[in-house]
């Protein structure tokens, strides 16, 4: 039976996250997985389970989420994305579809993934773009020093115990993770983008990293303090958990399955 690999984008504003949620005795919550499964089932005319690579939280967006399902269908693979998109709401889109190996698992086969956090800062009074970007960009009137933030971000690269950068209820056996890249750039005055790539992330880890770097940018946390927080594993030593709307899943990579960066 054919297995299909999808690259999915979504505006997470009106979703309760990626993962399907069916509370006992109550209506199902609106989730990306639930909406996508319904659209795929209608397209292929049979019930399916759509697995996703990353369980993004409520309000978090996705640009390069990877999902997979198995089904017999007469829809040619080159028309699969169109067929599913015709049945999806306006805030979800399948960017691409391809046939994958029958054993493809979007979670366990993942070798790396990247999240981006977008910030507007300083004097925002004349930035009309924020009117249209407010669902995707977190804003603060405090000016941020992106050079200091970049220096602190570099400390996080490598394999570390990230207990200080995870919520207490992370639910994982180990808090050791590998960060392959953590960059802070200012693409234009008053804007900062944080990108974090790694082999996996703990609950709220990227949003806590972003909150810590914001505190560094404001001068409330020293750059060297970030190294101390890693060593002590003390959550109280790091910054706040940032709001979800500034965060989006950029890409997920799979080694030989990766065809190009746009689909990653």
Task: Show which residues are catalytic.
Answer: 57
Backbone angles phi, psi at 191, to 5 degrees: -125, 140
Angle between helices 205-218 and 223-232 (to 10 degrees): 150
Q: Are 224 and 153 in contact (CB under 8 A)?
A: no
How far is residue 177's CA from residue 144's CA, in Å, rounded to a whole number? 27
Q: Nearest Cα to 32, choosing from 47, 21, 23, 43? A: 21
Contact present, 255 and 111 (Cβ < 8 Å): yes
d(CA 210, CA 219): 14
Q: Quote the CA–CA distance of 146 and 142 in Å, as a whole number.
A: 12
Tokens 């981006």 belong to residue: 116
Strand pairing class (191-198; 158-161):
unpaired
Quick check: 118 and 193 in contact, CB under 8 A? yes
Residues with Cβ within 8 Å of residue 10, at least 6 apart in sequence: 32, 61, 62, 65, 91, 92, 93
- On whether the CB atoms of residues 19 and 31 are closer than 8 A, the answer is yes
Dmax over Cα atoms in the chain, in whole Å? 59
């Amino acid at each position: 039976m054919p297995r299909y690999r999808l690259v999915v984008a979504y505006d997470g504003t009106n979703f309760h996250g990626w993962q399907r949620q069916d509370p006992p005795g109550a209506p199902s919550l609106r989730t990306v997985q639930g909406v996508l499964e319904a659209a795929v089932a209608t397209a292929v005319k049979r019930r399916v389970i759509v697995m996703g690579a990353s369980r993004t939280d409520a309000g978090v967006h996705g640009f390069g989420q990877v999902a997979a399902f198995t089904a017999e269908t007469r829809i040619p693979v080159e028309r699969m994305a169109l067929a599913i998109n015709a049945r999806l709401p306006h805030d979800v889109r399948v960017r691409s579809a391809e046939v994958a190996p029958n054993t493809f698992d979007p979670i366990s086969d993942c070798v790396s993934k990247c999240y981006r956090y977008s910030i507007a800062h300083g004097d925002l009074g004349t930035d009309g773009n924020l009117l249209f970007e407010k669902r995707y960009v977190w804003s603060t009137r405090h000016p941020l020093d992106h050079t200091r933030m970049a220096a602190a971000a570099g400390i996080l690269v490598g394999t570390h115990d990230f207990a200080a950068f995870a919520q207490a209820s992370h639910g994982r056996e180990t808090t050791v993770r590998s960060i392959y890249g953590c960059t802070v750039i200012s693409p234009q005055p008053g804007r900062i983008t944080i990108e974090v790539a790694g082999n996996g992330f703990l609950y709220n880890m990227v949003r806590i990293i972003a909150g810590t770097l914001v505190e560094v940018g404001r001068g409330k946390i020293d750059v060297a303090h970030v190294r101390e927080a890693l060593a002590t594993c003390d959550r109280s030593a790091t910054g706040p958990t940032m709001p979800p709307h500034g965060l989006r899943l950029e890409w997920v990579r799979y080694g030989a399955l990766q065809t190009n960066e746009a689909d990653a």
